[in-house]
Amino acid sequence: MKNELKIFKNNGEQKMRQTVNTKFKQELKEFGVGNWNACFNCGNCTAICGLTENGFLFPRKSIQSIQMGLKENLEKSVDPWLCYYCGECSDTCPRDANPGELMMSLRRYLTSTYDWTGLSKKFYTSKFWEIGFIAFFGAAIIAAFLIFLPPSQRVYSNPEAFVNDQGGVMINSMVDGISSTQFIKIIEYGDWTMAIIVALLLISNIFRMFYKVILKDKSIHIPFFAYFTEFFQLIYNFLTQARFSKCEKKSYWVGHLLLMTGYTIMFMVIVVLLPEFQIEEVKPWYHWQRILGYYATFGILYFLIIAAIERLRKSDIKFKFSHESDWLFIIMLGLTTITGILINIFRLAGMPVLTYYMFVLHLAILVPMIIVEVPFSKWSHLAYRPFAIYFAKLKKASYAQQAIKSQLLTT
């Protein structure tokens, strides 16, 4: 049932009321929304949150929209993205409605509304779809390597031939009939193809977010120059994750900053700097190439270990309830990092066979993870959060302009 405006008479006066969309609330439950009915709108969650401000009063406003079935109100709202789930609202909720987890669920839902392919909704609401998609692409990559880029038989009979003078495995020279330069180019072209597809999907979804949040909201009129003056906020918040620092536990901010920078470096290495990293020469430990790799590995592992331990312990409210996508994200990123470490260990130990097969397994985990997570799931939040802050600044510029106009009209 859709929201409907119905006209009724009260003492001869015509009034309007909006009916509740009950199906919408059922739809939200598929994304993890739980005990939303427990909330009786006391406002404690909004009062205690250090991130709320005039015009963006969350979580209370979003919860009211859920209860009233106001689907369009939620889809044009950036409030769920401005919440960074420090957990204070859930800790102090007198009804145990867990407003922080409700906002997390709304972020999943909004991710699915921005996605024009419909895959995000399938991944968030069906384990079969998400795991099946990852397994299919992983198997396809393994099959492609074994069929088109199999290791030379000499790898088994004469492994020493693929170890250089420094003791490192020459992984780019292990396929008969293909030079090391050609092998790197094949991997690089594959990376670029993946990156372009993922970027187009994510960018198109961000444009849909822009349409729903800004263009479709007829109550705002954005000053033209605000698009440029406020753009710095997008870059600044992406690079620093500054809003996380406003949470009481600073370790929460540090963890997300390490994860974001570590993953960004890893992605840049795969897509942009691959020829500088996938080389036969073993660089010294202090070389910038290896330092970047160590930092990315440390940043990702630090976050993953903390997140996994906390979700298992369930002592902190923000880790008490875990959606399937939360665990799949941790597992996939963990496996990607571990296989990457093992490649380096086997390569430096001069073990060609293990190096090659671990390299293939690493790509079979990494590529599906990027294809699923970046445009459709958890990694997309790295883009949606700073864009939400940017859009919020644009809305505030509109509110300020409207206030000035109103003041001029009354004087």
Cβ atoms 98, 323 nearer than 8 A: no
Number of domains observed in the structure of the chain: 2
Percent of the chain with pLDDT over 90: 57
Residues 159 and 292 in one domain: yes
Cβ atoms 385, 256 nearer than 8 A: no
For the full predicted model, state whether its pTM sits above 0.75: yes
> Please, what is the average pLDDT of the chain?
88
**Interval 177-200 mean pLDDT:** 93
Digit-coded pLDDT (tens) for 325-354: 999 999 999 999 999 999 999 999 999 999
Please give the pLDDT value at position 271. Answer: 80
Range of the domain at 302: 119-398
Residues 260 and 315 in one domain: yes
- Phi, psi at 151, each rounded to 5°: -70, 150
The CATH number of whichever domain residue 83 belongs to comes to: 1.10.1060.10
Is 293 a domain residue? Answer: yes
Q: Which of 22-26, 62-66, 67-71, 316-320 has the lowest mean pLDDT?
A: 22-26
Question: Which has more confidence, 318 or 141?
Answer: 141
Residues 123 and 102 in one domain: no
Digit-coded pLDDT (tens) for 262-320: 988 988 888 888 888 888 888 888 899 889 999 999 999 999 999 999 999 988 888 88
Band (pLDDT 50/70/90 cuts) for residue 140 is very high
pLDDT exceeds cutoff 80 at 250: no
Cβ atoms 243, 52 nearer than 8 A: no
C-alpha 98/C-alpha 322 separation (Å) is 13
Domain final residue, candidates 114, 138, 157: 114
Residues 98 and 243 in one domain: no
pLDDT exceeds cutoff 70 at 18: no
Is 407 a domain residue? Answer: no
Question: Which has more confidence, 87 or 391?
Answer: 391
Cβ atoms 223, 398 nearer than 8 A: yes
